[in-house]
Amino acid sequence: MEVIRYDFDLKCHRSTEYHLHGLGDLHSGTVHCCEEHFKAKVKKIQEDKYARWIGMGDLGEYIAPKDKRWDADVIAPWVDKGDIGYSLEQRIEKLLSPIKTQCIGLLKGNHEITYAQHNDGKVHEHVCDRLGVQNLQYSAFIDLAFARGSNRYVYRVVATHGSGGAITDSAKLIRLERWMNSFDARIFLHAHTHANINASVPTLAVNDAGRIVSRDKIGAMTGCWFSTYTQDVPPSYGEQKTFPPSAIGSPVFTIVPDHDFVSVQS
């Protein structure tokens, strides 16, 4: 598990809103990837100077013939089947280059790990190098630091690609809340489940003035860009297992440091 500090280089005003995005489970390289929707999200981040983002893992499908999940019929036509890892690295770099300077770091997902185990290819590390961003491994503590004049504000984030095979939203919510209860942080990002679910865990704290305040833990499952059911193409593995339709998109956390305010919206 990594521990890093990220200093925002923009000075804030009392009402400045910062935006934190979790971008994961893109699964680039399959015909079920909603790439155009993802490009729209990238453009939105690029146009917001107060936006930053964390890569949440599984940015590529990274399923090769040695993998039991291999299905040549669902591989995107642009993928070089003789060099899948390299094809996906190039594609992901191209998609994310417009916002690489706004990136806090990239988490590694189970698809990257499995591909490396089967093919001896460090695709996650290569993408980090291509973009020039921090490798956050599978999970990370991230301290977001803000400044307004002589005032300093730090918000602790815990982000993980995550795990779990829960199908229902209620089961995924329970997983998210249990995970949030395991760490001392204010903001939580959990990927992998392809769900876009938010949670708030009430927490009491004492502020610098010695007053008891409510500072709820705010967390979210970070959605995905993988369509479980897609018309006119071979079925995804999710469709074959009759999974519910996936939540296309990702949440955004809003932070107003001077007001000690955090919220999340799917």
Which pair of structure tokens corresponds to residue 88? 């996906």
pLDDT of residue 174: 93
pLDDT value, residue 23: 98
pLDDT of residue 213: 85
- Local confidence pLDDT in tens for the 266 residues of the chain: 999 999 987 676 778 899 999 999 999 999 999 999 999 999 999 999 999 999 999 999 999 888 888 899 999 999 999 999 999 999 999 999 999 999 999 999 999 999 998 887 899 999 999 999 999 999 999 999 988 777 788 999 999 999 987 888 899 999 999 999 999 999 999 999 999 999 999 888 887 788 898 889 999 999 999 999 999 999 998 899 898 898 899 999 999 988 889 999 98
pLDDT of residue 6: 96
84-117: burial string, b at 16+ Cβ within 10 Å, e else: bbebbbbbbeebbeebeebbbbbbbbbbbbbbbe
- Model pTM? 0.94
Domain of residue 197 covers 2-265
CATH of residue 232's domain is 3.60.21
Domain count, the chain: 1
